[in-house]
Chains A and B, each alone.
Chain A
Amino acid sequence: MPHLLKIEHLFIEAESDQKTKQIVKGIHLTLHRGEVLGLIGESGAGKSTIGLAAMGFSRQGCRIVSGSIVFDGQELFGAPREALRKIWGARIAYVAQSAAASFNPAHRLIKQYMEAPLQHGLMSSEEAKENAVDMYRRLLLPDPEKIGYRYPHQVSGGQLQRAMVAMAMSCQPDIIVFDEPTTALDVTTQVEVLAAIKYITTQFRTAAIYISHDLAVVAQLADRIMVLRYGELVEENDARTMLANPRKEYTRKLLSVRMLRKTKNLSDQKDDVILDIQGVTASYTGQNNVLENINLTIRKGRNVALVGESGSGKSTLARVITGLLPPVQGRIFFKGKELSPNLKSRNREELQKLQMIYQMPDTALNPRHRIRKILGRPLEFYFGMNRKQREERIRELLTQIELPESFIDRFPTELSGGEKQRICIARALAAEPELIICDEVTSALDQLVAEGILHLLQGLQDQLKVSYLFITHDLATVKAIADEIVVMFQGQIVEQGTKKEILTPPHHEYTELLLSSVPEMDPDWLDNLLKARKSGRAKIKPHEIIPRGSLENLPRPAG
């Protein structure tokens, strides 16, 4: 059978600051009709660039230097724009990571769906509309007759991404390039989108290139997987063979399930409570409560993981603890002493003992300050250290976070993401805190870098006996490092306890949904899950766990 797509000797250069850098180095790639190819790798592996090159396209600043890209007998490299335009959308479609950013916010979904078929003259407007509704129905979008007439902001993130997949199918293309289509989604919504993509690829025999950094996700969809690193192929194999038997060390690393923590001795002592949150209710507007009656205790040297999906209120809880958002009701005690609800009325010592590390190391460090100033300021501010003492302590901190001392004179922009996050950790450590709130500290990082950060945090905890409140949506991280787990949903704590208690059945319904939605390194995981959910064998169904109205029936705080 001839190849539907055949890429050979592909070289792509990126130009920045008058320097060119090769970002794709001699990639070969083939795709048969109806086949799904997974491209796996960390950021900078060149996977998105290859995905776009498969359409004969290169981003601004990038240039396809040499190679050949043959699609269905037609050479795309060097083909005139006119010829490419006939293929794009009609025969090769693209689904981007952020559906929210890819849809035009000013047009209704169905109008954007119809654009490609009309443009290519494949359907009449009526046909395209019918077609859209049909596709929405097939992808299990709610109310398929009407959902197309909504604007992009009027549907949820998961629905929008499915609408995007539907749109890619509007011309029934031969190939769809999926570029991390579920990365920005919560695990429970991710399952829906994965199901939609699986449906498309099996039902219409559409070939696909699926790009992701998450091997477990790719394993659900791909027939064949290519592992990429620095623009080169590391390993290519049949999906099942690769998962069962990875040949290269790098693939093995990506595959290895994180398991860092041995279960600690969690015997409770009365006097080791660091943070005690009692009945906290919080609201941004004064009307809708984002947090409802939260009770939480963090003990010395413990790692308490706060798990929940976006909108569950976990970051809000961090804001309440730090005093950025005074709660409507409830009290917070730090080592037995009540903390003022407002940041401004807390004293320096209270501030010093409670530090925070953020999700995006890029924005958490002032780009105009050198590392010396970033780390030196808390030392000066809290401990009044002079220049020499500071210098010494900064070097100590840099060693502690496993970075060379020479970084002291650098700006944050001169560091990689992982290194920046290490600096953020050092900034928190500089204050000698007793509790560090880690707000999604690894979600912006590549898997292996994230693992390094988790290792570091854990080592520091063992060494310094500092407590962590570890906010995350990633259950794999939780499983790896938590001592205790708190599960949040819609502003309430649905379950809390030690890791063992939470992870061993029976689960609370929502915990069950969360746990079952985390993709596993098993190619049959998605099929089994969907079957189980369909037949009703699984106890839970998405969106049915907690009836929408139930939150309103809870007792309201006065005022």
Chain B
Amino acid sequence: MAAFRFLRESPLSARIGMAIVLINIAAAILAPVIAPHGESQVVGDVWLPMSRDFPLGTDQLGRDLLTRLIYGARNTIALAFLITALSFLMGSICGFLAATIGKWTDQVLSRLVDILMAFPTLIFALMVLSVVGTSITALVVVIALLDSTRVFRLSRAVAMDIGVLEFVEAARLRGEGTWWVMTQEILPNALPPLVAEFGLRFCFVFLFIAALSFLGLGIQPPAADWGGMVRENAGAITFGIFTPLWPAGAIAFLTVGVNLIVDWFLHVASGLKEG
């Protein structure tokens, strides 16, 4: 009931955001049902304009673009979500540990992260992926690891700020262990900035997958993904064909949707509402 009321009181911007995200998720889940053609089925000529048969035209191999977009949502969103979730799990646990225990744990973890961050992420990812191969698992683990360094930094800083507050000291004086302090005292208070960051990182991961796909190391063809579709059709722009703008637009659309929700959540959770 509380959740229902919470949703009902949400502002228009958040509702738009939720609608966008829901549309994308629905498309991803129902892809085989709603897509007019097969994922990598060649149905017509190359770069056909919009028509009744092909609502968004066809791509560089003559596949239906709308179908590719719907299947692309499936691959890209699921993957980006998985990666972001994993990177937050790793990053925030390590960040909280570093902040709560401090001393050596903090030193070791922080320096490790420094080392990871010293490499340009793209080059690091290229290096690892070309060694271990471009399986989905490798992709997920590598991007999540690289991304978790940023999450580590943020969650450590946030946890440090919270850790000096007296209610945390009170918990320590009570004799509570590290796990309680982390999960019960720090985590609930660190949630607002972390959630905001989640939305942001989700978008970055999205773009990162696209970048890797662009370089041929991301999601492998013929599976559809939005970043890859932009790359594959990029050449069309020079001929005045706007096919690559559709997947690019889809990326932007979802990014905006996610951020609208995050903004609202941040507003509520940070207590700005109470004024």
B123 at the binding interface (Cβ < 8 Å): no
Assess whether A364 is in contact with B274, with CB atoms less than 8 Å apart. Answer: no
Of B174, B185, B189, B275, the contact of A16 (CB 8 Å cutoff): B275
CB distance from B270 to the nearest CB of A (A): 11
A303 at the binding interface (Cβ < 8 Å): no
Assess whether A413 is in contact with B174, with CB atoms less than 8 Å apart. Answer: no
B170 at the binding interface (Cβ < 8 Å): yes
What residues of chain A lie closer than 8 Å to B172, measured between beta carbons? Answer: 324, 343
Of B166, B175, B271, the contact of A358 (CB 8 Å cutoff): B166
Assess whether A363 is in contact with B189, with CB atoms less than 8 Å apart. Answer: no
A378 at the binding interface (Cβ < 8 Å): yes
Interface string of A351-373 (1 = CB under 8 A from B): 10001101010011111110000
CB distance from B272 to the nearest CB of A (A): 9
Assess whether A17 is in contact with B165, with CB atoms less than 8 Å apart. Answer: no
A16 to B189, CA, bound (A): 23
A467 at the binding interface (Cβ < 8 Å): no
Assess whether B173 is in contact with A324, with CB atoms less than 8 Å apart. Answer: yes
Assess whether B185 is in contact with A366, with CB atoms less than 8 Å apart. Answer: yes
**A360-B166, A363-B165 in contact; A368/B175 too (CB < 8 A)?**
no
What residues of chain B lie closer than 8 Å to A360, measured between beta carbons? Answer: 166
Majority SS at the chain A contact face: mixed
A61 at the binding interface (Cβ < 8 Å): yes
A515 to B275, CA, bound (A): 41
**A17-B274, A363-B166, A413-B271 in contact; A381/B175 too (CB < 8 A)?**
yes
A427 at the binding interface (Cβ < 8 Å): yes
Assess whether A17 is in contact with B273, with CB atoms less than 8 Å apart. Answer: yes
Interface residues on A, range: 20 to 34
Majority SS at the chain B contact face: helix
What residues of chain B lie closer than 8 Å to A312, measured between beta carbons? Answer: none
Assess whether B166 is in contact with A364, with CB atoms less than 8 Å apart. Answer: yes
Number of interface residues of B (CB under 8 A): 18
- Smallest CB gap from B189: residue in A: A368
A490 at the binding interface (Cβ < 8 Å): no
**A17-B274, A61-B275 in contact; A368/B188 too (CB < 8 A)?**
yes
What residues of chain B lie closer than 8 Å to A431, measured between beta carbons? Answer: 174
**A363-B165, A366-B189, A413-B274 in contact; A358/B170 too (CB < 8 A)?**
yes
What residues of chain B lie closer than 8 Å to A16, measured between beta carbons? Answer: 274-275
What residues of chain A lie closer than 8 Å to B189, measured between beta carbons? Answer: 366-368
CB distance from A446 to the nearest CB of B (A): 20
A356 to B174, CA, bound (A): 10
A356 to B172, CA, bound (A): 11
- Smallest CB gap from B190: residue in A: A368
Assess whether B174 is in contact with A378, with CB atoms less than 8 Å apart. Answer: yes
A262 at the binding interface (Cβ < 8 Å): no
Interface string of A418-445 (1 = CB under 8 A from B): 0000000001000100000000000000
A-B contact count (CB 8 A): 53
Assess whether B274 is in contact with A324, with CB atoms less than 8 Å apart. Answer: no
- Smallest CB gap from A412: residue in B: B167
A108 at the binding interface (Cβ < 8 Å): no
A377 at the binding interface (Cβ < 8 Å): yes
Assess whether B167 is in contact with A363, with CB atoms less than 8 Å apart. Answer: yes
Highest count of chain B CB atoms <10 Å: which of A323, A363, A369, A427: A363
A251 at the binding interface (Cβ < 8 Å): no
CB distance from A552 to the nearest CB of B (A): 31
B169 at the binding interface (Cβ < 8 Å): yes
Assess whether B169 is in contact with A324, with CB atoms less than 8 Å apart. Answer: yes
A289 at the binding interface (Cβ < 8 Å): no
What residues of chain B lie closer than 8 Å to A351, measured between beta carbons? Answer: 173-175
For chain A, residues 218 to 254, give those with C-beta under 8 angstroms from any C-beta of chain B: none
CB distance from A19 to the nearest CB of B (A): 9
CB distance from A509 to the nearest CB of B (A): 34
A412 to B214, CA, bound (A): 51
A89 to B161, CA, bound (A): 37
A150 to B258, CA, bound (A): 49
A348 at the binding interface (Cβ < 8 Å): yes
B176 at the binding interface (Cβ < 8 Å): yes
- Smallest CB gap from B172: residue in A: A343
Assess whether A17 is in contact with B275, with CB atoms less than 8 Å apart. Answer: yes
CB distance from B197 to the nearest CB of A (A): 18
- Smallest CB gap from A14: residue in B: B275
CB distance from B165 to the nearest CB of A (A): 5
What residues of chain B lie closer than 8 Å to A323, measured between beta carbons? Answer: 173
CB distance from B234 to the nearest CB of A (A): 47
What residues of chain B lie closer than 8 Å to A369, measured between beta carbons? Answer: 184, 188
A358 to B171, CA, bound (A): 13
CB distance from A197 to the nearest CB of B (A): 34
A322 at the binding interface (Cβ < 8 Å): yes
A368 to B189, CA, bound (A): 7
Of A15, A364, A368, A382, the contact of B170 (CB 8 Å cutoff): A364
CB distance from A306 to the nearest CB of B (A): 18
Beyond the given A356-B170, A367-B271, A368-B188, please list 18 additional residue pairs across the A-B interface where CB-CB is below 8 A: A17-B275, A322-B173, A324-B169, A348-B175, A355-B173, A358-B166, A363-B167, A364-B167, A365-B167, A366-B167, A366-B184, A366-B185, A369-B188, A377-B174, A381-B175, A381-B176, A382-B174, A431-B174
Closest 10 CB pairs of A and B: A16-B275, A368-B188, A364-B166, A366-B167, A351-B175, A358-B166, A363-B165, A17-B275, A363-B166, A348-B175
Give the interface of A toward B (CB within 8 A): 15-17, 61, 322-324, 343, 346, 348, 351, 355-356, 358, 360, 363-369, 377-378, 381-382, 413, 427, 431
Give the interface of B toward A (CB within 8 A): 165-167, 169-170, 172-176, 184-185, 188-189, 271, 273-275
> Can you list 8 A-B pairs, Cβ within 8 angstroms, ordered by A?
A324-B172, A351-B175, A364-B166, A366-B167, A367-B189, A367-B271, A368-B189, A369-B184
